[in-house]
């Protein structure tokens, strides 16, 4: 089974692309969504977060107080690094177990969708990488509309990610997400190539 990663800068539409791959029956692991689930439900991870960021990290109902945690980490890069060093290994192990399960179910290839695929080093455990790319001005407009935020805030978030050009250099496949018609064609072509590669005898 081929293990494929899919990433792209904020506003590139990674989730939209993944949903189109799912129409071909491709299993997708949404790492960022899964991280949120684990932070709310995995007891070992919850304890680590409480130890490092205080009991107030969780509300009375046992769910993560995202606003409280964000207030700590986004003002302090060292705290953000600490948070990532706790959460990313948990997500990595969870994703690895998921891949084993998908292989047992007979998947030809899987997709792991993550915003920080390169930044966390998790790309090293994948066979191929897809990068979703969109011109910067379109990405900014999309995020401003989606999150009801300002251009300055979007650019600040972009600056915390690896530049799109650098991601493209590391990609095995690039999907340009501008027009719906061309997007479907690109995904169909990449899907066919991945199925072909997955079925070839491995050296």
**Beta-ladder partners of 141:** none
Residue 188 assigned to a binding site: no
Beta strands 109-113; 28-30: pairing state? parallel
Residue 14 assigned to a binding site: yes
Give CA–CA dist 62/43, Å, rounded: 10
Residue 11 assigned to a binding site: yes
In angstroms, what CA-CA distances link 149 with 145, 157, 186? 7, 11, 31
Give CA–CA dist 15/177, Å, rounded: 11
Residue 12 assigned to a binding site: yes
- Sorted by sequence, the CB contacts under 8 Å of residue 27 that are 6+ apart come out as 102, 105, 107, 110, 111
Residue 5 assigned to a binding site: no
Which residue ranges make up the annotated binding site? 11-16
Q: Provide the annotated binding site for ATP.
A: 11-16
């Amino acid at each position: 089974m081929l293990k494929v990663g899919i990433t792209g800068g904020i506003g590139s539409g990674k989730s939209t692309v993944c949903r189109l791959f799912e129409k071909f029956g491709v299993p997708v692991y949404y790492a960022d969504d899964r991280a949120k689930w684990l932070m709310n439900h995995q007891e070992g991870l919850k304890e680590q977060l409480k130890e490092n960021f205080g009991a107030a990290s969780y509300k009375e109902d046992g769910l993560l107080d995202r606003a409280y945690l964000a207030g700590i980490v986004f003002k302090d890069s060292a705290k953000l690094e600490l948070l990532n060093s706790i959460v990313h290994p948990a997500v990595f192990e969870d994703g690895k177990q998921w891949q084993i399960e998908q292989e047992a179910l007979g998947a030809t290839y899987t997709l792991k969708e993550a915003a920080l695929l390169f930044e966390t080093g998790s790309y090293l455990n994948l066979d191929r990488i897809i990068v979703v790319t969109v011109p910067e001005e379109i990405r900014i407009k999309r995020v401003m509309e989606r999150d009801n935020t300002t251009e300055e805030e979007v650019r600040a978030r972009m600056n915390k990610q690896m530049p799109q050009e650098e991601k493209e250099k590391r990609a095995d496949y690039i999907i340009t997400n501008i027009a719906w018609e061309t997007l479907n064609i690109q995904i169909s072509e990449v899907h066919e190539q991945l199925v072909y590669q997955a079925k070839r005898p491995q050296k």
